[in-house]
Amino acid sequence: MKLLKLTGFIFFLFFLPESLTLPTQPRDVENFNSTQKFIEENIEYITIIAFAQYVQEATFEEMEKLVKDMVEYKDRCMADKTLPECSKLPNNVLQEKICAMEGLPQKYNFSHCCSKVDAQRRLCFFYNKKSDVGFLPPFPTLDPEEKCQAYESNRESLLNHFLYEVARRNPFVFAPTLLTVAAHFEEVAKSCCEEQNKVNCFQTRAIPVTQYLKAFSSYQKHVCGALLKFGTKVVHFIYIAILSQKFPKIEFKELISLVEDVSSNYDGCCEGDVVQCIRDTSKVMNHICSKQDSISSKIKECCEKKILERGQCIINSNKDDRPKDLSLREGKFTDSENVCQERDADPDTFFAKFTFEYSRRHPDLSIPELLRIVQIYKDLLRNCCNTENPPGCYRYAEDKFNETTEKSLKMVQQECKHFQNLGKDGLKYHYLIRLTKIAPQLSTEELVSLGEKMVTAFTTCCTLSEEFACVDNLADLVFGELCGVNENRTINPAVDHCCKTNFAFRRPCFESLKADKTYVPPPFSQDLFTFHADMCQSQNEELQRKTDRFLVNLVKLKHELTDEELQSLFTNFANVVDKCCKAESPEVCFNEESPKIGN
288, 320 contact by CB (below 8 A): no
Look at residue 457 and give its three-state secondary structure: helix
Helix (H) or strand (E) holding 568: helix 563-582
| Residue type for position 318 | N
Burial 164-196 (b: 16+ CB within 10 A, else e): bbbbbbbbbbbbbbbbbbbbbbbebbeebbeee
Say how many C-beta atoms besides its own lie within 10 A of residue 371's C-beta: 24
* Mean pLDDT of the chain, nearest integer: 86
- Of 424, 419, 412, 404, which Cα lies nearest the Cα of 472? 412
Q: Which pLDDT value is given to residue 405? A: 96
Q: Say which residues have a Cβ less than 8 Å from residue 194's Cβ, sequence separation at least 6.
A: none
Measure the CA–CA gap between 228 and 238, rounded to whole angstroms: 14
| Residue type for position 440 | P
Q: What is the DSSP code string of 41-95? A: HTHHHHHHHHHHHHSTT--HHHHHHHHHHHHHHHHHHHH-TTSGGGGS-HHHHHH
Classified by CATH at the fold level, domain 38-216 comes out as Serum Albumin; Chain A, Domain 1 (1.10.246)
Measure the CA–CA gap between 154 and 1, rounded to whole angstroms: 11
Q: Which pLDDT value is given to residue 307? A: 59
CA angle 272–277–282, rounded 5-degree value: 165
Name the CATH code of domain 253-321 (choices 1.10.3720.10, 3.60.21.10, 3.30.56.10, 1.10.246.10).
1.10.246.10
pLDDT tens for the chain, residues 1 to 599? 433 333 222 222 322 222 223 333 444 545 556 667 777 778 899 999 999 999 999 999 999 999 999 999 988 988 998 998 888 888 899 999 999 999 999 999 999 999 999 889 988 999 899 888 888 988 888 888 888 998 889 999 999 999 999 999 999 998 888 988 998 899 999 999 998 898 899 888 988 888 888 888 888 889 888 988 898 899 899 999 999 999 999 999 999 988 887 775 566 788 888 888 888 777 788 888 888 888 888 888 888 876 556 776 787 788 888 888 888 888 899 999 999 999 999 999 999 999 999 999 999 999 999 999 999 999 999 999 999 999 999 999 999 999 999 999 999 999 999 899 988 888 999 999 999 999 999 999 999 999 999 999 999 999 888 889 999 999 999 999 999 887 778 999 999 999 999 999 999 999 999 999 999 998 887 778 888 888 887 777 788 888 899 899 999 998 888 888 888 888 888 888 889 888 889 889 988 888 877 66
Q: Which pLDDT value is given to residue 33? A: 65
Q: Which pLDDT value is given to residue 519? A: 93
416-466 tens-digit pLDDT: 998 999 888 889 999 999 999 999 999 999 999 999 999 999 999 998 888
- CATH architecture entry for 520-598: Orthogonal Bundle (1.10)
Measure the CA–CA gap between 221 and 485, rounded to whole angstroms: 6
282-296 tens-digit pLDDT: 778 888 888 888 888
Say what the pTM is: 0.86
Q: Which pLDDT value is given to residue 252? A: 95
Q: Which pLDDT value is given to residue 309? A: 66
- Of 440, 519, 482, which Cα lies nearest the Cα of 229? 482
Q: How far is CA 54 from CA 129, 217, 227, 287, 397, in A?
A: 6, 16, 20, 30, 48
Q: Which pLDDT value is given to residue 27? A: 45
- What are the residue ranges spanned by the domains of the chain? 38-216, 253-321, 520-598
Measure the CA–CA gap between 335 and 280, rounded to whole angstroms: 41
392-427 tens-digit pLDDT: 999 999 999 999 999 999 999 999 998 999 888 889
Say how many C-beta atoms besides its own lie within 10 A of residue 563's C-beta: 14
Q: Is residue 273 part of an annotated ligand binding site?
A: yes
- Of 240, 237, 264, which Cα lies nearest the Cα of 254? 240
Measure the CA–CA gap between 207 and 254, rounded to whole angstroms: 38
CA 213, 218, 222, 228 dihedral sign is positive
Phi, psi of 463, deg, nearest 5? -110, 5
- Of 309, 325, 327, which Cα lies nearest the Cα of 317? 309
